[in-house]
Amino acid sequence: MKAPDFDYARPSSLQEALALLAAGEGGAQPLAGGQSLMPMLNFRISTPEMLVDLSGLPELRGLEQTPQGLRIGAMTRYCELEAFPDLAKIQPLVAAALPHIAHDAIRNRGTIGGSVALADPAAEMPAILLALGAVISLDGPNGPRDVAADDYFLGYYETACEPDELITSILLPKIEPGDSFGFHELVQRHGDYAMAGVAIRSSGIAPLAGLRIGFFGVADRALRVTALEDALNGTDGTDIAGALSHLSEIDFQGDTKITAETRAHYAGVALKRALKEMLT
Amino acid sequence: MQTHLTINGTQRRLDLDPRTTLLDALRHHLGLTGSKKGCDHGQCGACTVMVNGRRINACLTLACMHDGDEVTTIEGIGQPDDLSPLQQAFVSEDGFQCGYCTPGQICSATAMLQEISDGWPSHVTSDLAGEAELTSDEISERMSGNLCRCSAYPNIVQAIHKAAGKNA
């Protein structure tokens, strides 16, 4: 398959990029690393009239430690995040999850902002942002605005980012002393999209407290189940059978790989394993 | 549209439809058929090339996105009368059967050995602060984006061990 016909532009400033998106009236599609968009174009799942390549915008690149946390420019590539000094200390959850995100050749091109903008329901990054309580900074014709990760992922490839807006950066809040993290995903082959996975932040370990659990690869989007978090808060996380009953709130999706029932089971398995790793 | 690329050290000017992937530009427009088209959506690694020293899947990127970039393909790594250490090792260790994935395997391994010498840890590296040892587990993990349907994996790992020893 070949991509549908499209025009290509590589603006050199954010302002120019936003103007191109606005002029496209919904037909212009931002192009970040292209690692998901290229196959979608070639399968003709996505049929934009114009691609706006964001690789020429230096203001969207780079990583910065701020008093609030780690600010990641939207066009920062996975390999750049991986190589950030002391990442395992600054953001242990991200460091633990990165090697599960595809393979080196993909991480050399794929961007953090691209992943979050696309919001593939089986991608790791959206769930990580939910677990960390990240903030997504957008810019558009009506000016810049911040959206909490909890309010960002709306549905199947659907987010709070409007077609004429761009993600400029993502803030991962600073971790606090006593914070604990867990990550587990079930995949057919290491590096594949998950059949089910979880990213966990807890502000205590015995007992668990202030839990934020991002599920991915389960439904139409990365999501949290607050009733499940509430059921686990204050416990030692070893007997989770009762809490698991709240997984029924998720509208599990089946696909060509596995049924919705199997996926529901896997979500519980991923959660159990992640908690077990956290507690040992 | 006009795109300037440096391919294996030679400057090339291409006038391409923007839809042209880097892989199609290499194979169809430049006649560099060493890079192979396997899955054409980033699952198999047969099209792995190096862009500015980093390994990427040439099928997952448009040629026009690489204006001004330096691309190294298997043809730039070695030639039949002048094989690179990795190419020699793939021959001597029988690192392939049908050979279709081999150019991608060798481009990927060439970049991978550089990543290890630059101190990049992987998923299986135990000591994140120290130097990554070139164990078979390290090689398998770092080469996991390159599939071999003949399953020559043990010999591929052996070939990479051999070439790395030669370079050291």
B147 and B45 Cβ atoms separated by less than 8 Å: yes
Show the domain range for B10.
2-77
* pLDDT category of residue B167 using cuts at 50, 70 and 90: very low
On the question of pLDDT at A261 being above 80, the answer is yes
How many CA atoms does the CB half-sphere of A78 hold within 13 Å?
27
Q: A35 — contact with chain B (CB < 8 Å)?
A: yes
A207 and A232 Cβ atoms separated by less than 8 Å: no
What is the average per-residue pLDDT within A42-70? Answer: 96
Q: Which site among A54, A79, A104 would you substitute to test the B interface, given the most B Cβ atoms closer than 10 Å to its Cβ? A: A104
In chain A, the N- to C-terminal Cα span, in Å, equals 48
Could you give the CA distance from residue A269 to residue A194 in angstroms, rounded to a whole number? 13
Q: A42 — contact with chain B (CB < 8 Å)?
A: yes
Please tell me the CATH superfamily of domain A180-279, with its number.
CO dehydrogenase flavoprotein, C-terminal domain (3.30.390.50)
Q: B21 — contact with chain A (CB < 8 Å)?
A: yes
Could you give the CA distance from residue A198 to residue A223 in angstroms, rounded to a whole number? 10
The 10s digit of each residue's pLDDT in B88-131 is 999 999 999 999 999 999 999 999 999 988 877 777 776 666 66
CA distances for A132 relative to A71, A102, A149, A206, A277, angstroms: 13, 21, 9, 19, 18
Selecting from B21, B42, B64 the residue whose C-beta is nearest the C-beta of A35 gives: B42
Q: What angle do CA A71, A75, A81 make, to 5 degrees?
A: 55
Same domain, B155 and B117: yes
How many other β-carbons are positioned within 10 Å of the β-carbon of residue B4? 12
- What class is the A7-53 domain? alpha beta
Predicted local confidence at residue B127, as pLDDT: 64
Q: B39 — contact with chain A (CB < 8 Å)?
A: no
Q: What is the CATH number of the domain that holds B63?
A: 3.10.20.30
On the 0-12 / 13-18 / 19+ scale of CB atoms within 10 A, A66 is exposed
Predicted local confidence at residue B166, as pLDDT: 59
Same domain, B120 and B55: no
Size of interface A-B (CB pairs under 8 A): 87
- Domain count for chain B, please give it: 2
Q: What is the CATH number of the domain that holds B138?
A: 1.10.150.120
On the question of pLDDT at B132 being above 80, the answer is no
Q: A22 — contact with chain B (CB < 8 Å)?
A: no
The 10s digit of each residue's pLDDT in B57-91 is 999 999 999 999 999 999 999 999 999 999 999 99
Identity of the residue numbered B71: V
Q: Which residue of chain B has the CA closest to A189?
A: B144
Domain ranges within chain A, ordered by starting residue: 7-53, 62-173, 180-279
On the question of pLDDT at B152 being above 90, the answer is yes
Predicted local confidence at residue B31, as pLDDT: 97
**Nearest Cα residue to B66 out of B118, B24, B114, B120:** B24
ipTM value: 0.92
Quick one: fold of A62-173? 3.30.465
What is the average per-residue pLDDT within B33-38? Answer: 97
| Three-class DSSP category at B5 | strand
The 10s digit of each residue's pLDDT in A139-166 is 999 999 999 999 999 999 999 999 999 9
Could you give the CA distance from residue A35 to residue B60 in angstroms, rounded to a whole number? 6
Q: B127 — contact with chain A (CB < 8 Å)?
A: no
Predicted local confidence at residue B129, as pLDDT: 60
Cβ contact B144–A43 (<8 Å): no
Same domain, B102 and B56: no
* pLDDT category of residue A257 using cuts at 50, 70 and 90: confident
What does the DSSP 8-state code read for residue B27?
I
